[in-house]
Amino acid sequence: MPLTAAGPAPLTSRQSVPDVANAAARTGRRLNRTDAGFLLICLAGCAYALADFGQFLNGYEKAMLVGAVPALAWLGWLWRPLRSLVLASGASALLAVWLYAGGAGLLQGDLGRAESVFLLKYLLSSQSAILWMSCLFVLGTLCYWAGLARPAIAWLGTVLTWGGVWAGLTGLLVRWREGHLLGPDVGHIPVSNLYEVFVFFALVTALFYLYYEARYATRALGGFVMLVVASMVVFLSWYSLTRGAHQIQPLVPALQSWWMKLHVPANFVGYGTFSLAGAVGFAYLVKLHGQSAAGKRLIPVFLLGALLCAEPMIFGSGRFSRVWMLYFGVGAMAVGAVLALRRPIARRLPSLEVLEDIMYRAIALGFAFFTVATVLGALWAADAWGAYWQWDPKETWALIVWLNYAAWLHMRLLKGLRGEVAAYWALAGLVVTSFAFLGVNMFLSGLHSYGSL
């Protein structure tokens, strides 16, 4: 099934959307020599890490490192582009570690070399790599939208998004090493504060989009999903510039736990797939409304105009930064432009059945990971604070997110929820998820305030 900007190849009379998706997923999934080679590389990397860095790892960390080998091999077999990403980001991260060492052995290093070594300064230091990620994601978003008008250039969006994922993953791996170079009590897995999890959040969302892009053979959704990712990196850049959030800090005592290495990644896999489902829900509504000439479909545009008129009064109080007024104003205009151009955009989007299937699969996968993350979080809370649940604002909103998607899945599987209501619900879920992740830190405080604004 060829990959096109306009959408997947048309279904035959005997094919359903899941049939086509499963057929695409099965393509090339027989074990071959490259699978064995990738497994051997993972085993060699694990053995090297245990031999040279094992003294810095406790028993839990060693177990997770060993367990990562079969997990990566299995995921690489299921989706083979992931192997190239792992090898490329691993190689670039090792090159950065070697450059920091300056020939003195990989256990040594000098952070000052980030300002004197060309590759570190402009490409491979954590902050440089994350800046490249931000630029590539924004450019990829623009190319995806341009690809709706000129399908011949849509492939650039895919290439730039893959480049952004590579740069961001390299940046996180190098940041891990940089923390250890600052001091033995500073280094930690880079998912411990708002800056780091924002990078991880953007990576997860982009990577899952790339998976569904290949699985359903369509690039037309790239502009919608990457618009969410681009908004993440714009916020990330502002947060870094105004708060110095990119600085590596020691972990607070409550975060010095191996539970964090499991809970946070699982949590943000859920957040990332929920965000993807919300973006696809918006695309579904654009597709549905773009096929209708009813005047009532223009109401959202008028609502956005009212929001823009109200913005100066909301943000003029001085409670919020003017940057936020610009941020939300530009976002509202972008959404308004998509709604105004919904008819030509709708012609490029995949069928409603494909959009609905992607939305369902993303929510189902995210719900599974979010459930695991919630259980792990309760166990971590019992270990750190002596209680599984304390009705902290973050815990409360995590429960709201979980109940929201549990209800969505229940209504779909048992009551046959489909169509416009499901799409609006998924889009509303994106708002709920965003508040649970960011709004709690902005407006509330509690035990989980790992980053403030």
pLDDT tens, position by position, 357-384: 999 999 999 999 999 999 998 888 888 7
* Choice between 408 and 56, residue whose per-residue pLDDT is larger: 408
81 band by pLDDT with thresholds 50, 70 and 90: very high
Element (H, E) at 149: helix 126-149
Question: How far is it between the farthest Cα atoms of the chain?
Answer: 70
306 band by pLDDT with thresholds 50, 70 and 90: low
Predicted local distance difference test score (pLDDT) of residue 54: 79
pLDDT digits (tens, 9 = 90+) for 420-439: 999 999 999 999 998 888 87
The residue count of the chain comes to 453
Mean confidence (pLDDT) of the chain: 84
Q: Which two tokens stand for residue 229?
A: 């990712």
What mean pLDDT is predicted for residues 257-262?
Answer: 84
% the chain with pLDDT above 90 = 50
Q: Are 412 and 360 within 8 A, CB to CB? A: yes
Which of 229, 239, 240 minimizes the C-alpha distance to 276?
229
Predicted local distance difference test score (pLDDT) of residue 437: 85
Predicted local distance difference test score (pLDDT) of residue 219: 95
Query: Does 452 have pLDDT greater than 80?
Result: no
pLDDT digits (tens, 9 = 90+) for 208-217: 999 999 999 9
12 band by pLDDT with thresholds 50, 70 and 90: very low
Predicted local distance difference test score (pLDDT) of residue 2: 41
Angstrom distance (rounded) from CA 338 to CA 438: 25
Distances (CA, A) of 337 to 46, 218, 262, 325, 425: 49, 22, 40, 18, 22
Which of 438, 446, 398 minimizes the C-alpha distance to 236?
438
44 band by pLDDT with thresholds 50, 70 and 90: very high
Q: Using alpha carbons only, what angle is made at residue 19 by residues 403 and 346, rounded to the nearest 5 degrees?
A: 70
Which of 175, 176, 200, 165 minimizes the C-alpha distance to 79?
165
Q: Are 397 and 436 within 8 A, CB to CB? A: yes
Query: Does 393 have pLDDT greater than 80?
Result: yes
Token pair 């500073």 is found at 186
% the chain with pLDDT above 70 = 83
Predicted local distance difference test score (pLDDT) of residue 381: 84
* Model pTM above 0.75: yes
Residue 10 three-state SS: coil
- Indicate the burial class of 437 (C-beta count within 10 angstroms; 0-12, 13-18, 19 or more): buried
pLDDT digits (tens, 9 = 90+) for 45-54: 999 888 887 7
Predicted local distance difference test score (pLDDT) of residue 66: 92
Predicted local distance difference test score (pLDDT) of residue 106: 66
Query: Does 304 have pLDDT greater than 80?
Result: no
Helices (H), 188-259: 194-216, 222-243
Query: Does 95 have pLDDT greater than 90?
Result: yes
Which range has the top average pLDDT, 59-68, 147-156, 245-254, 297-306?
147-156
